[in-house]
Amino acid sequence: MDTFRFYNPTRIHFGTGMIKNIGPEMSAAGVKKCLLVAGGGSIRANSVYSQVVESLKSSHIDWIEAWGVQSNPTLAKVREMIQVARREGVDAVLAVGGGSVIDSAKAVAAGFHLQDVWNAFTGAERIQQALPVFTVLTISATGSEMNGNAVITNSEEKKKWSIGSTLLYPRATIIDPSVQSSLPFKQTVNGALDATAHILEYYFMDDNAIATLAINSGLLHTITEMTDRLKGNASDLTARGNLAWSATLALNGISGAGLKGGDWGCHTIEHAFSALYPSIAHGEGLGVIFPAWIEYVSEKYPDRFTGWARNVWGEDSVPYALRRFREKIESWGSSTSLRDLGIKEQDLATLRDIILQSGTIGKIHQFGAADIEALLMLAY
């Protein structure tokens, strides 16, 4: 088992009725005025917004609102919100939404003290201070509610890049699974596929991390089973709760312990999809590229994938396990090819070039231009 460091300072309030705790958490941290970051109107419809506002009022915290964060959040929107945060003199950022909202809030928190927030993504500036971040989660998928990472798209340059800092871990996160009962099943599936991909980025790195791999196998089983249950009953709170917590654990440090930092090739590749086609949901794109990646890489390093086939799918054959993985994704109504995603064959060369801008792609197998071309055709 590889050496590792584990750190996670985020305090979690989990369960029905927990949103009321966000105000007291922020007050205890000395917050006087926050920027409330949100997406569309769903948090009004499901009463999350009213619960958050009531908690802020009860804790005597002032706030200014920034709405309009979209899936695959953009640099332009982040820059706009940073200007609002500076003008209003806020001392914290509160994200009320899913991963895109939380990532945007983290970028605002970092960019508040930078000359330009994109410099943190390029490495031109280091994140040395940040506003405190708090979150109320409404869609379980990215794990951003309990880690220090954020992904933002520079639409002009077609770059979907990430930052990471211990300063960006949320101070406190509220996870009330009951508020996710109104989600369309497609959004639930996108979240499940995103969480699955987070675990798989670590899974094939080191067979000696037996304890972590046992946790990861259990999480993969749980995500699959709970998603199946929610397909039949969107209001199954046991399934909602277990899926939500599994998605958090998928990227809060636990799933990567002793696994050499993960591979992250598939995430790098998928980021090009949603950079070029912003309408592609990140989780759905991962559901297309990960099976193709397993097929491509397992032919070169078959021994790395036998544990996954056996422990997750109960198969001695990697191709049989892979077939079941694809069938499960298809049974959830999600895309299984780049063609399904609406990607045009004539854009594959452009995707290749965007992917190559990201530098090193993968660890188990480092992908060059020829590998990327072959993988994209396999996924098409």
- From first to last of its 380 residues, what are the pLDDT tens digits of the chain? 889 999 999 999 999 999 999 999 999 999 999 999 999 989 999 999 999 999 999 999 999 999 999 999 999 999 999 999 999 999 999 999 999 999 999 999 999 999 999 999 999 999 999 999 999 999 999 999 999 999 999 999 999 999 999 999 999 999 999 999 999 999 999 999 999 999 999 999 999 999 999 999 999 999 999 999 999 999 999 999 999 999 999 999 999 999 999 999 999 999 999 999 999 999 999 999 999 999 999 999 999 999 999 999 999 999 999 999 999 999 999 999 999 999 999 999 999 999 999 989 999 999 999 999 999 999 99
Instruction: Give the CA angle between residues 24, 29, 35 to the nearest 5°.
Output: 80
Residue 162 backbone phi and psi in degrees, to 5: -125, 160
Q: How many CB atoms lie within 10 A of CB 4?
A: 14
Domain boundaries, the chain: 11-178, 184-379
Task: Tell me which CATH code domain 11-178 carries.
Answer: 3.40.50.1970
User: What pLDDT sits at residue 351?
Assistant: 96
Q: What are phi and psi of 21, to 5 degrees?
A: -85, -5
For the entire predicted model, the pTM comes to 0.96
Residue 62 DSSP one-character state: E
pLDDT at 234: 96
pLDDT score recorded for residue 170: 98
Fold of 184-379: Dehydroquinate synthase-like, alpha domain (1.20.1090)
**Cβ-Cβ contacts under 8 Å for 264 (sequence gap 6 or more):** 201, 362, 363
Residue 134 CA to residue 106 CA, distance in Å, equals 9
- How far apart (Å, rounded) are the C-alpha atoms in residues 112 and 106? 10
User: What pLDDT is stored for residue 1 in this prediction?
Assistant: 85
3-state helix, strand, coil in the chain (%, to 5): 55, 10, 35
Reduced 3-state DSSP string for 211-267: HHHHHHHHHHHHHHHHHHHHHHCCCCHHHHHHHHHHHHHCCCCHHHCCCCCCCCHHH
β 33-38/92-97 pair status:
parallel
pLDDT value of position 315: 98
pLDDT of residue 305: 98
DSSP string, 143-174: -GGGSSEEEEEETTTTEEEEEE-GGGS-SEEE
Q: What angle do CA 216, 217, 222 make, to 5 degrees?
A: 95
Can you tell me which residue has the tokens 């699959």? 224
Residue with tokens 């798209």: 153
CB-based contact 48:179 (threshold 8 Å): yes
C-alpha distances in angstroms, 178 versus 4, 14, 115, 134, 361? 35, 10, 40, 19, 38
Question: Strands 159-164 and 33-38, how do they pair?
Answer: unpaired
Torsion angles phi and psi, residue 137, rounded to 5: -85, 135
Distance CA 268, CA 161 (A): 8
pLDDT in the model for residue 83: 98
* Cβ-based neighbours of 136, under 8 Å, separated by 6 or more: 19, 22, 48, 52, 94, 95, 96, 97, 173, 174, 176
Kindly provide the residue ranges of all beta strands, DSSP E only, lying in 28-132, ordered along the sequence: 33-38, 62-66, 92-97
Q: What is the amino acid identity at position 313?
A: W
